[in-house]
Amino acid sequence: MTMVLSCVVNHREIRWVIRPGVTRVGRDPGSDVWVQDESVSRKHAEITLDDGGAVIRDLGSRNGTTVNGVPVTPGSPQAVQEGDLVALGAMSLTVTRDPADAEETHEREIVGFADDALRGAPVAPGRERASTDAARDGAPAGAGREGASAGTGRDGGMPGPDAVSGGHAWVESSLSRNPAGMHSGSGRPAQGSDRIASGSGRGIPSPDDSGLSTTRMSWQDIRAEIGTRSNQTQNLLSVLLEAGQMLVLPQSLTELYETSIELVSRLFPADRILLLLRNGDSDDLQVCGSRGIDPNADPTTFLSRSILRAVLEDHESLLLRDPRSDPRFVGSDSIIALRLRSTMTVPLFDNEMVIGLLHADTTSPFQSYDEDQLKTLALLGNLVAVKIKNARLLDELRVKARLEQEMETAAQIQRRLLPDHLPRLENYRLAARLLPCLETAGDFFDIGERADGAVEVLIGDVSGKGVGAALLMSHTVAAYRVLSQEGHALSELMDRLCCHVYASSDATRFVTLFASRLDLEKHELRYVNGGHSPVLIVHADGSCDRLPATGPAVGLIDGCSFEEQRLPLGPGSVVCFYTDGIIEAGQDDPYEEERLRAVLERSRDLSPEQIIDAILEDVHRHTGRSERDDDITVVVLKRVS
């Protein structure tokens, strides 16, 4: 009774025949089954085979042993049988029967010993083919019956160390042999150099046409190759089906990155997977998804600049079958430290531009990627890139719709707080206009009659724009109205308001505020200016007064105090309240206060509405465009008699 452990190395099947007794498996050269993989411990496991079946025992290995995914605890042997999947560290082996037990006339090809195959050494002459009898007796082809008896192992069936130097277990292959004694899925030597012309007619240069194991393919190459072979078509169709099922559902960008990495891990054996995206229009790359890689790691430690340039700039897919043997990477500390055996790097092409790249690599000596896998990964990269592009557009639409809804809600609140009509005053005329640059403004004004007969005129500007500014504006107006109804003098009212706004807003938010009360009997304007633009008063004789700040902006500091000022208004006097959207209009050449004062002097004989029209027309002439960078608010009060 015998059993076989098998795995696939570089597209060929390698099989270890296990005879009755105890078989030691590990990286130690003295093992019965010598496995040269760094994930396998020197003394990893042992298999005991007898008439009752086979069991495997873990010998305290570093990376553990599993049978069908179930860990084998050291000291607790696990039964194994035909069809089981045994994992030694990162290496997976399938348990099968020895074909010689089932079919006496079956002829098998002996391609070498375990250590030869894993090192990639050529098959020694005389080991090329053995009949069923020779293989069963443990003698290499051409050795004859004498060779079988001379090289008998401890069980009489396996060749001993003296029969063939370094031999520990037979390695069998079900694939055809090539002249070099090595096998690959394409029938070429596994370490040969494959170059496929790119769209630009360039290939990766090779010093001797045989030293590099590199394939470089353009997107046109990949599309032209799709469907040229039935087995490849079947593979691509299966990839499309699985990718379509995973990518068709609505996902956030973060979920999409995770799905893409998961899909690559399911389609290809890989130790490291990386999804890099360009950061906007720059050449900076951002790690958006990874497996087996520190997300904060610099991708250039295992992706050279030549690879990044080929993929991102030349839009080519790159396959390196053995980076360690590539002359361009000889002595590379990163390649040595990462133990890279085979890599694939493809562009994320969204049918318009390359937005990033997708990379997979393996450290297993039993795995080497091929052209079909490169084409499959490139096709998957195209699907992922298109999905990322669509997801980004969808996110932008969602954000825009949400902001529009928030703006509309805040605008409704703002409109309800602003006065819907202006009071009719004896001897005075009023006009006001607010022009927001967004749906929701940071500017505001309020005009109302008090119980004592005075008229209150308020104008302000909240720092910032958008919903936050509108909410703070609404909060400030509401608080001012409450404090005003309580009968506080202007200076005390502003002191309280400043403390209230400071306590209820963050450090980046404040309000410039000009608060005034007009005594209709005394024709006197009392005011407090909290960091706002100076109010301008043009008198009938053409003289002009500025009402500068009498305190800091509201909410800027805690515990501030304000000083109330008074100014008489004679017949014909025009008071212009405004926000900085007027005097700062025009980025390179601001409108400024002097120009506003000149307009007021020229138009002081007009009505308040006409004065506002004159101001806005002059601002428009100065800027030369209708778009505004800031809100504009103007209130004009004129004593007509």
Q: What pLDDT shows up at residue 631?
A: 84
Residue type, 208: D
- Write the CB contacts of 389 (distance below 8 Å, at least 6 apart in sequence): 350, 352, 355
Q: What pLDDT shows up at residue 574?
A: 97
Nearest to 344 by CA among 390, 300, 307: 307
Sign of CA dihedral 231, 237, 239, 241: negative
CA distances from 352 to 225, 389, 393 (A): 21, 10, 14
CA angle (335 as vertex; 331, 338 as ends), nearest 5: 140
Q: What pLDDT shows up at residue 308?
A: 83
Q: What pLDDT shows up at residue 391?
A: 86
**Residue 498 burial class via C-beta count within 10 angstroms: exposed 0-12, middle 13-18, buried 19 and up:** buried
One domain, residues 229 and 161: no
One domain, residues 27 and 166: yes
Q: What pLDDT shows up at residue 106?
A: 32
Residue 12's pLDDT band, with cuts at 50, 70 and 90, is: low
d(CA 444, CA 479): 14
d(CA 274, CA 260): 10
CA distances from 264 to 373, 378, 390 (A): 11, 11, 20
The CATH number given to whatever domain includes residue 603 is: 3.60.40.10
Residue 97's pLDDT band, with cuts at 50, 70 and 90, is: confident
Point out the least confidently predicted range of 199-208, 345-354, 466-475: 199-208
Is 579 in contact with 619 (CB distance < 8 Å)? no
Residue 366's pLDDT band, with cuts at 50, 70 and 90, is: confident
Is 535 in contact with 529 (CB distance < 8 Å)? yes
Q: What pLDDT shows up at residue 23?
A: 94
Listing DSSP states for 502-525 in one string gives HHHS-TT--EEEEEEEEETTTTEE
CA distances from 51 to 41, 97, 129, 184 (A): 28, 14, 30, 37
Any domain includes 227 = yes
Phi, psi angle pair for 542, to nearest 5°: 95, -5
Q: Which of 158-167, 188-197, 469-478 has the highest mean pLDDT?
A: 469-478
Q: What pLDDT shows up at residue 325?
A: 63
One domain, residues 9 and 136: yes
Residue 339's pLDDT band, with cuts at 50, 70 and 90, is: confident
Q: What pLDDT shows up at residue 417?
A: 78
Residue after which a domain boundary falls, among 357, 392, 427: 392
Mean residue pLDDT across the chain? 76
Residue 110's pLDDT band, with cuts at 50, 70 and 90, is: very low
Burial annotation 251-278 (CB, 10 A radius, 16+ → b, else e): bebeebbbbbbebbeebbbbbbbbbbbb
Span 407-420, pLDDT tens digits: 787 777 777 778 88
Residue 119's pLDDT band, with cuts at 50, 70 and 90, is: very low
Point out the least confidently predicted range of 17-31, 331-345, 421-435: 331-345
Pick the residue with more confidence: 467 or 190?
A: 467
d(CA 505, CA 469): 11
Any domain includes 403 = no
One domain, residues 123 and 229: no
d(CA 261, CA 290): 7
Listing DSSP states for 376-435 in one string gives HHHHHHHHHHHHHHHHHHHHHHHHHHHHHHHHHHHHHHHHHHS-SSPPPBTTEEEEEEEE
Any domain includes 318 = yes
At 601 the three-state DSSP class reads helix
Phi, psi angle pair for 333, to nearest 5°: -60, -40
CA 576 to chain CA centroid, nearest Å: 52
Residue 550's pLDDT band, with cuts at 50, 70 and 90, is: very high
Any domain includes 207 = no
Any domain includes 533 = yes
d(CA 468, CA 399): 16
Tokens (6 digits) for 134: 């020779």
One domain, residues 462 and 378: no
Any domain includes 194 = no
Mean pLDDT, rounded, for 550-565: 89
The CATH number given to whatever domain includes residue 28 is: 2.60.200.20
Residue 357's pLDDT band, with cuts at 50, 70 and 90, is: very high
One domain, residues 22 and 152: yes
Nearest to 544 by CA among 612, 622, 599: 599
One domain, residues 323 and 286: yes
Give the neighbor-by-neighbor strand order of the sheet with 85-88.
70-71, 65-67, 85-88, 91-97, 3-9, 12-18, 170-173, 109-113
One domain, residues 505 and 627: yes
Point out the least confidently predicted range of 254-258, 401-405, 515-519: 401-405
Give the strand pairing for 21-26 and 33-34. parallel
Mean pLDDT, rounded, for 599-606: 95
Any domain includes 37 = yes
Span 278-321, pLDDT tens digits: 887 677 888 898 888 776 777 666 677 778 888 888 888 989 88
Pick the residue with more confidence: 635 or 627?
A: 635
d(CA 495, CA 561): 5
CA 277 to chain CA centroid, nearest Å: 6
At 64 the three-state DSSP class reads coil
Q: What pLDDT shows up at residue 508?
A: 81
Residue after which a domain boundary falls, among 113, 148, 173: 173
One domain, residues 422 and 536: yes
One domain, residues 363 and 430: no
d(CA 537, CA 544): 5
d(CA 501, CA 559): 11
Residue 346's pLDDT band, with cuts at 50, 70 and 90, is: very high
One domain, residues 589 and 633: yes
Q: What pLDDT shows up at residue 168?
A: 33
Q: What pLDDT shows up at residue 335?
A: 59
CA distances from 595 to 27, 179, 622 (A): 88, 92, 10
Is 18 in contact with 172 (CB distance < 8 Å)? no
Any domain includes 405 = no
**Residue 570 burial class via C-beta count within 10 angstroms: exposed 0-12, middle 13-18, buried 19 and up:** exposed
The CATH number given to whatever domain includes residue 239 is: 3.30.450.40
Mean pLDDT, rounded, for 79-86: 92
Residue 29 is part of which domain span? 3-173
d(CA 75, CA 87): 17
Pick the residue with more confidence: 558 or 547?
A: 547
Span 229-261, pLDDT tens digits: 555 556 556 666 767 766 677 788 888 899 899
Position 569 pLDDT exceeds 80: yes
- Write the CB contacts of 376 (distance below 8 Å, at least 6 apart in sequence): 235, 236, 239, 267, 268
Our count of domains for the chain comes to 3
One domain, residues 155 and 258: no
Mean pLDDT, rounded, for 429-438: 88
CA distances from 17 to 66, 110, 136, 210, 557 (A): 20, 12, 10, 34, 84
Q: What pLDDT shows up at residue 327?
A: 60
Q: What pLDDT shows up at residue 514?
A: 98
d(CA 138, CA 147): 9
Is 51 in contact with 75 (CB distance < 8 Å)? no
Radius of gyration of the chain (CA): 41
Tokens (6 digits) for 190: 């596994």
